[in-house]
Amino acid sequence: MPSADDMKKAAAEAALEYINSGDIVGVGTGSTANYFIDLLGRIKGRIDGAVASSEASAKLLRGHGIEVMELNNVGDLPLYVDGADEATQHGYLIKGGGGALTREKIVAQASEKFVCIADDSKLVDVLGDFPLPVEVIPMARSLVARYLVDLGGQPEYRVGFVTDNGNIILDVRNMRIVDPKDLETRLNQMPGVVTNGLFAHRGADVMLFGGASGVEKIEV
């Protein structure tokens, strides 16, 4: 039985086939995305550069000698590759376990194709067992937390964590998310919320799940 890390690596490797020569690739954040970055390092001659969804990924990419570009300077991207904390077969995701949700959402939105890579433990029927990360402007922390309680959630302040954008994260437990698009919209309307970790309006186009018997591909 392969380990979860082996499954993540296998999913990352399968994502390489979506890269075309000369692409500027959008790159996600987290342990699975890190495996993808390592693989990108091996084929870096085939790509023109990358746009990173976090300072951490940018540093890793540069460490492999890959040019990290500003999204503002490159316009739309052909491809975004990133992991997920939970995924449904419709391509709806919870992301942000690593706290990079806002930049991840920006790069995903700017990309023609979003390929999600994960081990198959991330595939669920209904989102919400994994606490939903919400990035919040610091002064709105209590206001937004009360709103999340009104919605039935149990928000928890991610102590000691500051996002790349200088904000805080509330992780929301107790959400059984049956309508991800609706909840994503409602959360985004609350003043003080920068982004929430639901990727439903712009979910994954392709999901590659590493498992015991290889990589399963789901096209949405």
Catalytic residue set: 104
- Smallest distance, ligand 5RP to C-beta of residue 21, A: 26
- The residue (of 82 and 184) whose beta carbon lies closer to ligand 5RP is 82
* Neighbour count for residue 138 (Cβ, 10 Å): 10
- Smallest distance, ligand 5RP to C-beta of residue 33, A: 6
Quote the CA–CA distance of 107 and 177 in Å, as a whole number. 24
- Adjacency order of strands within the sheet including 86-87: 86-87, 93-94, 198-199
- Smallest distance, ligand 5RP to C-beta of residue 83, A: 3
- The residue (of 30 and 131) whose beta carbon lies closer to ligand 5RP is 30
- The residue (of 146 and 217) whose beta carbon lies closer to ligand 5RP is 217
47's torsion region: left (phi>0), alpha (psi -120 to 50) or beta?
beta
Residues 6+ apart with CB under 8 A from 182: none
- C-alpha distances in angstroms, 54 versus 27, 50, 100, 181, 182? 9, 12, 6, 24, 27
- Smallest distance, ligand 5RP to C-beta of residue 173, A: 16
- The residue (of 149 and 162) whose beta carbon lies closer to ligand 5RP is 162
Contact 52, 61 (CB under 8 A): yes
Q: Which phi and psi angles does 139 have, rounded to 5°?
A: -70, -15
* Contact residues for ligand 5RP, defined by CB under 6 A: 28-33, 82-85, 95-101, 104
| 3-state helix vs strand vs coil in the chain, percent to 5 | 35, 30, 35
